[in-house]
Structure 1
């Protein structure tokens, strides 16, 4: 049963704001952060919802901040069933639908804007799958869980792609990511880069170097 239809903001809110957007499973809880004269919108996807992943995750927050620093308005959001977002876990498919609904709202309030996508861990696949359905300016995948999701079935993406992997990752085997990266890169027409950081899965004590990596590898114009 759906709750009453929400009327989301009709323009991108100023400052940092909690907003309710609409998705196929009901309300999507999100946090928007504006910048002066944005060159586009950056949307960042959080880790696994069944493992306490939320939009308040530190890695998600720091990637959003990096995007703000590069001139993007940003959106972080909770997948269905997380926080105040309605619905229940959608086994990746539902979460991609949530992301596409967020992209749709971004396009509504900022028509013809460029979209940058990023995701951490489980969220890296959500962002990558959305990037196969929606043309984005650039994709950032942080610690992609290549052994848990069907990365091998991803087609070549039509945008530059940055993969950031912690070398001390205790959740995702770094070598699995390196092997997958080489296979994926061979399919790509656009540049794809692998950046390694001496860090654990959650980048404890390494959030500033992570932010710097995102900022230094951000592509504003092709």
Structure 2
């Protein structure tokens, strides 16, 4: 991966709507960020301890809104904890129509635009800060689609919904990539997901967790620690 990709200098977006200047807080805070369908509810969490002047940022996308997916989902919260424990600022947000976010569900099209709008807000304030993208289930699909424009330095995909969403135009992110899949996933068949992951060139780091369902019940701590290991092995500072 070249330095430009990691720093964000190749950053580009298709979303070009008005972007009011919402300040980037220097503390953990709930935000209302501008999006293409209105305001997006978001939670920005700073790492504990000495985070330094410009810590890396992780943007985390939540699962399918019609099935109850929100930014407070336990897997999403676990990802945020893994990132803040590892010295990242973690930013998660509710897609349109979820929680206090304006708008209505748009079958992935609008949700991708929401993600790109949040990324644009990040880059208004932190253009050179290393960026990680992460997501769970539907959110991992959105994050992977956004990666082509966002050029993240790291990618984390949890239970990508291969077979349920169109992955035909999903390109391998040009960065280090961790993918975690439960072998006993009752919603997204693990065989299809793992086959798709192994066919990527180069293949990501793949963690197949035995006796683990889609929502990682009883497995959230091992999931958090696996993500932290990946972040420790691929430092962005």
Q: Same fold (TM over 0.5)?
A: yes
| Matching of residue 176 in structure 1 with residue 188 in structure 2 | no
Contact 1:8 1:21 in 2 (8 A): no
| Matching of residue 47 in structure 1 with residue 63 in structure 2 | yes
Alpha-carbon deviations, 1:42-68, whole Å to 9, x = none? 011000001000000000000011011
| Matching of residue 220 in structure 1 with residue 235 in structure 2 | yes
Contact 1:25 1:87 in 2 (8 A): yes
| Alignment equivalent of 1:139, drawn from 155, 161, 166 | 155
RMSD, aligned α-carbons: 1.7
TM-score by length of structure 2 reads: 0.85
Higher relative contact order (CA 8 A, sep 6+): 2
User: Which runs of structure 2 are paired with 1:46-65 in the superposition (5 Å)?
Assistant: 46-65=62-81
Number of residue pairs the alignment of both structures matches: 213
Unaligned runs of 5+ in 2: 1-17
Q: Distance in 1 between matches of 2:95 and 2:55?
A: 26
- Name the SS for the 1:151 alignment partner: coil
| Corresponding residue for residue 67 of structure 1 | 83
| Corresponding residue for residue 208 of structure 1 | 221
TM-score by length of structure 1 reads: 0.90
| Corresponding residue for residue 44 of structure 2 | 32
| Alignment equivalent of 1:78, drawn from 88, 94, 105 | 94
| Corresponding residue for residue 101 of structure 1 | 117
Contact 2:56 2:236 in 1 (8 A): no
- Name the SS for the 1:107 alignment partner: helix
Deviation at 1:156, TM superposition (A): 2.8
Q: Distance in 2 between matches of 1:124 and 1:158?
A: 16
Unaligned runs of 5+ in 1: none
Residues 12 and 110 of structure 1: CA distance in aligned 2, closer, same or farther (over 3 Å): farther
Runs of 4+ in 1 over 3 A off after TM superposition: 5-9
Q: Distance in 2 between matches of 1:132 and 1:90?
A: 20
| Corresponding residue for residue 196 of structure 1 | 208
- Name the SS for the 1:133 alignment partner: helix
| Corresponding residue for residue 141 of structure 2 | 125
| Matching of residue 10 in structure 1 with residue 23 in structure 2 | yes
Q: Distance in 1 between matches of 2:150 and 2:127?
A: 15
Contact 1:12 1:110 in 2 (8 A): no
